[in-house]
Chains A and B, each alone.
Chain A
Amino acid sequence: MSLIESLSANLPKLLDGLETTLLLTGLGAALAAVFSPGLALIRLGGPTPAKVLLRIYISFMRGTPLLAQLFLVFYGSGQFRAELTALGLWSFFRDPFNCAVLVFVLNSCAYQTEILRGGLQAVPPGEIEAARAIGMTRAQVLARVTFPHAYRIAWPALGNEVILLMKASALASIVTVFDLMGRTRQIFSRSFEFSVYFEAAALYLLITVVFVFLWRQIERRLTRPMRRTQGN
């Protein structure tokens, strides 16, 4: 079979897998992004017990393999089936896709929190003072000055985190999620057609390239004010 024929035969399944990969990554990164600003604030100025808990959580998430975390939730939840059923949560944990999303949210949130913490710490204190001096409330200072600035600083690192998460999402195939990697393995196990791995790699590369391009466009817009020459 030629490469073209093989690709056109495999493409529907691979695209289905690609959709799952995008969904997995997108949900994981987006939900993590909802929680990371609040956690970053706690990390910097929250009450001590909350700070300690947060540090433990972050060290655990960053210090253990993502695959181990996936196993922990996917196989671990099976051990507590009775309890989870009683709580009405079993139907959530029964689906490997849900388990994977949960793990990705928890994992990415730890990284995003740390990235954002760095961004927050790099906001020029004078700009925050100017906002306070004009009579803004604390919430206004955060919304109008601190976070807009912190996100501009953190933007490239956050993009990097999303790319890493996207590639790491291939691990979900090991807990039986049919993402792009899962579909690829499925096709290979039936046909022993090695080229399907190249096709999968090309698709991963394609979405990364598109993502990097889009992310950089946004970055250019965000950081335009900071550049001395504002031609672009």
Chain B
Amino acid sequence: MPPKTATDLVLSAQDIHKSFGAQEVLKGITLGARNHDVISILGTSGSGKSTFLRCLNCLEIPNSGSVAVHGEEIVFRNGRIGDQRQIERMRRHLGMVFQQFNLWTHRTALENVMEGPVQVKRMAKPEARDLAEALLARVGLADRMHHYPAMLSGGQQQRVAIARALAMEPDVILFDEPTSALDPELVGEVLKVMQDLAAEGRTMIVVTHEMAFARDVSTEVVFLNEGRIAEQGPPDKLFDHPETEVFARFISKTRRDIA
């Protein structure tokens, strides 16, 4: 892999620190994503991986560090929000898919997907409707467009959520354990959609427990341990030759779980 230079990066985070009260959850994390990168973030629970992902779009405000999207940089000092407008602008470039889907329950699948383009991008409604219909068809939900979330299975809801993120045409999509809340038989349909997105060359950062996805789909794997990056690199190298004992233990443990 060629080294990353600052100009390549669509999204970068520099030295992110985050504490909740006295507990420091993130102890200085630096990570960058270029176009078409699919980065899987692994880690034991409590390693700070979800918190880090949420720092990238300022759902959590880091205590210090900086995040840059398309070269526009937001610097954090003392965990305070500088410019709310700047954060809103930056979020428009980042899609987010949540563990609990977080669809708006009072809107249909179609309305969920149209909402961002219409409200945030001020797209005309007919145009947004066409876009939303096309995206829902792409995630295999052409026949569920007018259903409310309560009528959809978890896997279907998560696919709507992915379509909702895609509708904003984001530069990077953040996935926060997208399959962790799903029944085992529904995991596959969501992973399939994510795989297709990766194959299309979408830039993705995925916090996940799905080892097969991390290994086969991602271009880079990051292993977090106790708020720091313990290991980082291409999946083949990492999975076959773990450098740290803690990552080796992590892999062997998940292998046992699968078997």
Contacts and interface: CB of A to CB of B under 8 A. Distances in A.
Interface residues of A, number: 25
Given A225-B105, A225-B106, A134 B148 contact: no
Contacts of B108: 225
Contacts of B120: 134-136, 140
B21 to A, nearest CB: 19
A226 interface: yes
Binding site of A, secondary structure by majority: helix, strand, loop or mixed? helix
B34 interface: no
Interface stretch (A65-73, A141-149, A204-212): A141-149
A129 interface: yes
Nearest to B93: A135
Interface stretch (B8-16, B95-103, B245-253): B95-103
Contacts, number: 79
A129 B148 contact: no
Interface stretch (B84-92, B137-145, B201-209, B212-220): B84-92
B88 A135 contact: yes
Interface string A213-225: 0000000000011
Given A126-B100, A138-B84, A228-B150, A133 B57 contact: yes
A227 interface: yes
A91 B168 CA distance: 56
A219 to B, nearest CB: 13
B77 interface: no
A192 B115 CA distance: 64
Residue of A134, A136, A149, A225 ringed by the most chain B CB atoms within 10 A: A134
Nearest to A131: B104
Contact of B59 (A127, A132, A227, A228): A132
B91 A226 contact: no
Contact of A127 (B89, B94, B105, B150): B105
A183 interface: no
Given A130-B103, A225-B106, A135 B92 contact: yes
Contacts of B105: 124, 127, 149, 225-226
Interface in A176-232: 224-228, 230
A225 B150 CA distance: 7
A126 B98 contact: yes
Contact of A152 (B94, B106, B115, B149): B106
Given A130-B96, A140-B119, A227 B150 contact: yes
Given A148-B106, A225-B148, A134 B98 contact: no
26 contacts: A126-B98, A126-B101, A126-B102, A127-B103, A127-B105, A130-B96, A130-B102, A130-B104, A130-B164, A132-B91, A133-B91, A133-B94, A134-B120, A134-B165, A134-B168, A140-B119, A144-B115, A148-B106, A149-B106, A152-B106, A224-B148, A225-B107, A225-B150, A226-B105, A227-B150, A228-B151
Given A130-B102, A228-B151, 19 more contacts: A126-B100, A127-B102, A127-B105, A129-B59, A129-B98, A129-B102, A133-B96, A134-B120, A134-B165, A135-B89, A135-B116, A136-B88, A140-B120, A144-B104, A144-B119, A152-B106, A224-B148, A226-B106, A228-B150
What 3 pairs across the A-B complex have the smallest Cβ distances?
A: A126-B102, A135-B92, A130-B102
